Structure 1
Amino acid sequence: MRNATATILKPLPDHLFKVHGESAEMRWEAMSGQGYHTPIDRFFVRNHTYTPLIDATTWHLRLHGAGLRCPREFSYEELRAMPSRTYDVAIECAGNGRRFYGRQQHEAAPGTQWGLGAIGVARWRGVPLKHLLKEAGVRPDAVDVLPVGLDAPFEDHGHVRRPLPIDKAMDDVLVAYEMNGERLPPDHGFPARLVVPGWVGIASVKWLGEIEVSTSKLLSPWNTVFYPDVTTQPVKSAFELAWNARLPISRVPLVLHGRSWSGRGRIVRVEVSFDGGLTWREAESHGRHLVSAWLPWHVTWAPRRPGRYFLMARATDETGAAQALTIPRHPFGYHFDAVVQHPIEVVIG
């Protein structure tokens, strides 16, 4: 059992997480049998500095800028008293899968070497951002919305902040204060955070303190230096298995489970290969089929011989976007959406 790091408050046991400095990656085997949502105790954490402890009784969310007619501040109690919505949404780091640029394609990319565990789906409850913007008198010539976090400044770049276009802000973005039916935990943004369906995780700013609404394009280090030109998440798939899992030979076919997701739309097909991509078999889906979250699926397999195998899963979404066997290297290691080769060992008995 690993104690929480200095930057993360919740426990980070080794069987649930792989720790990357100030961040923690969920181990995919921890999702086995867990139902549709990622439990809070195993939801990944991406921090730039460390988790702040914020007093909700003195906290306010300030909306300001030239794009508003009547700037407003909302207290925690005011926020919770407003009409709420509940969405099932995936939040995923843009660098999820980065280590496979090096491991599979031999073109390593800089940054945190995430496997596939920098994603989680939760049931978020809060107030639609468009409701707050309307309360503050959003102007018809508003262009960008800039949420700012209250965590400690990152190096010399200031507080985490990344602009959203007004069209997205007025669409499906949520200012969330609950996660899986519980008060938002500190590591996940208490008192309030943005939840931006389909977009890279950096857009879902935690520990919201202010939101600027502008009548011109806005820039910050988080859309110029660190996350340029990445918005909607691509198609990905993962098995609910440990890396190098040991599976037994059995007369009864094994049932393997996994999940696939895309920021662009619903997953319409998942195929699995057990022979390095020579042949593919369509997996059966089960559970919910939500645009903003993921699709659980399963497939049966009866391995005949012991040895080392690579499981492969590829998904296609409703836009026709599908996972390829290889993809061009991204200079920052973002958006790795190629088929991942998941090693396992088949053993006798």
Structure 2
Amino acid sequence: MRWATVNPRKYLTPQPRLFVRNHTSTPVIDKSAWRLRVFGDGLATPRPATDPLTLSFRDLRRLPHTRVLSVHECTGNGRSFFASQQGTPAAGTAWTLGAVGSVVWEGVRLRDLLKEVGLGDDAVSIQATGLDPSYVSGGVDYGPVRRPFPVSKALRDAVLAWSANDEELLPDHGYPLRLVLPGWVGIGSIKWLGSLEVSNTQLTSPWNTKWYRMTGPTYSTTEPPLTVNPVRSAWELASGATLRAGRRHTLTGRAWSGAAPIKKVNVSLDGGQSWQRADLRDEDGRGAGVATVRGHGWTRFSVEWDRPAAGSYQLLARATDTDGRTQPLASPFNDQGYFFDAVVRHPVTVA
């Protein structure tokens, strides 16, 4: 997604504009033949992988439906700024800040499914596995993309979604069914969901041990897997945009957090020499047109720039959520360039 193309009057991100991050290729799936496999020793009646419970799409549609608003974001969003802003390049796709979007997901709550199939009292971990082809890198076959998450997250707000913004999921976004973990790293929201393993022990995969955890010279070898997304913000303006001198400009942007609603956004129009409070909309986590849906949505902000003189400027935005988390001025480096949450310096020219 390119922030310069975002319509300030529209809250949600259309599916065709939502970023795509795949480890392999998008599978072609026949919904009528698709089945969700559920197994593991964490079920009330344990089932081995060779004899799973199977649910059709029709079976899922019989369960209570829900609609959940959440910001969906790649863990590497903002990665390019490790190089361009901090001089410490990191491996991976050189995202700016467009690997994110705000979506209303519709489907069934995972807790309702677990109630239906029977959850064991000792269950602690669930592993979601996709139906995309196995991921092969450096001659090593790591198997299909999969990642575990705690039962507590499953019971709190996890969703098995079949639509985004009232439209059937597009193939690149997980058709016919995907997992959604609101507020958590995008890799956890497994697309093309094929199975759920429910376990009495902590499950692991390369996607929470080898990748999607912090590694680098300042991190230990026992860093936990990444879960809750940090606080970030972005201007709805092209980097390097040119604005007319002597005119009044309304500058807009969006801020979001994986943990809590946005409380405030401070902005600077002079590279950090002075700061002011931006005006906020949607700070309660509800967006225009989706007033009945509460969740981890983003907050739109705006500031009036009154007749700036000609010259080069840097726009800065610094968001704080209601949990007290604030964007830092610099992000600690890690090898994979995850969680760049620092204030981004956004250049513009006034002429």
- Is 2:128 the counterpart of 1:113? no
- Is 2:309 the counterpart of 1:305? yes
Query: What is the CA–CA distance in structure 2 between the aligned matches of 1:172 and 1:316, rounded to whole Å?
Result: 23
- Is 2:223 the counterpart of 1:244? no
Which is worse superposed, 242-251 or 61-70? 242-251
Query: What is the CA–CA distance in structure 2 between the aligned matches of 1:242 and 1:236, rounded to whole Å?
Result: 17
Structure 1, unpaired ranges of 5+: 1-25
2:330 to 317, 326, 337: 326
- Is 2:268 the counterpart of 1:273? yes
* Kept in 2: contact 1:36–1:287 (CA 8 A): no
Closer, same or farther in 2 for the Cα pair 1:319/1:211, shift >3 Å?
same
- Is 2:33 the counterpart of 1:48? no
Q: Tell me what 1:200 maps to.
A: 185
2:7 to 26, 32, 57: 32
Amino acid across the alignment from 2:323: T
* Kept in 2: contact 1:32–1:241 (CA 8 A): no
Residues 141-220 of structure 1 aligned to structure 2 (within 5 Å): 141-155=122-136, 156-220=141-205
Residues 328-343 of structure 1 aligned to structure 2 (within 5 Å): 328-343=332-347
Query: What is the CA–CA distance in structure 1 between the aligned matches of 2:325 and 2:283, rounded to whole Å?
Result: 20
Root mean square deviation of aligned Cα: 1.2
Amino acid across the alignment from 1:345: T
Flag the structure with more relative contact order, 1 or 2, with Cα contacts below 8 A and sequence separation at least 6.
2
Amino acid across the alignment from 1:235: V
1:143-163 CA distance string (max 9 Å, x none): 100000001111111111000
Amino acid across the alignment from 1:298: S
Q: Any idea what SS the aligned residue of 1:164 has?
A: strand
1:154-211 CA distance string (max 9 Å, x none): 1111111000011111110000001110111111100100110110000000000000
Q: Any idea what SS the aligned residue of 1:170 has?
A: helix
* Kept in 1: contact 2:129–2:193 (CA 8 A): yes
2:70 to 49, 73, 89: 89
- Is 2:274 the counterpart of 1:289? no
* Kept in 2: contact 1:126–1:174 (CA 8 A): yes
The CA deviation at 1:34 is 4.9
Which is worse superposed, 66-75 or 84-93? 66-75
The CA deviation at 1:288 is 5.6
Q: Tell me what 1:3 maps to.
A: none
Amino acid across the alignment from 1:312: L
1:47-101 CA distance string (max 9 Å, x none): 1111111100000011100001345211012212321000111110111011111
Structure 2, unpaired ranges of 5+: 46-51, 214-224, 286-294
* Kept in 1: contact 2:316–2:344 (CA 8 A): yes
Which is worse superposed, 107-116 or 62-71? 62-71
* Kept in 2: contact 1:84–1:127 (CA 8 A): yes
* Kept in 2: contact 1:124–1:177 (CA 8 A): yes
Q: Any idea what SS the aligned residue of 1:41 has?
A: helix
Query: What is the CA–CA distance in structure 2 between the aligned matches of 1:101 and 1:63, rounded to whole Å?
Result: 40
Which is worse superposed, 294-303 or 261-270? 294-303
Q: Tell me what 1:102 maps to.
A: 83
The CA deviation at 1:289 is 2.8
Query: What is the CA–CA distance in structure 2 between the aligned matches of 1:288 and 1:282, rounded to whole Å?
Result: 14
* Kept in 1: contact 2:328–2:341 (CA 8 A): yes
* Kept in 2: contact 1:121–1:293 (CA 8 A): yes
- Is 2:122 the counterpart of 1:137? no
Amino acid across the alignment from 1:318: T
Equivalenced residues, count: 321
1:282-315 CA distance string (max 9 Å, x none): 0001236315121011111124322221110000
Q: Any idea what SS the aligned residue of 1:316 has?
A: strand
1:226 to 211, 231, 255: 211
Which is worse superposed, 214-223 or 43-52? 43-52
Q: Any idea what SS the aligned residue of 1:163 has?
A: strand
Query: What is the CA–CA distance in structure 2 between the aligned matches of 1:31 and 1:72, rounded to whole Å?
Result: 43
The CA deviation at 1:35 is 1.0
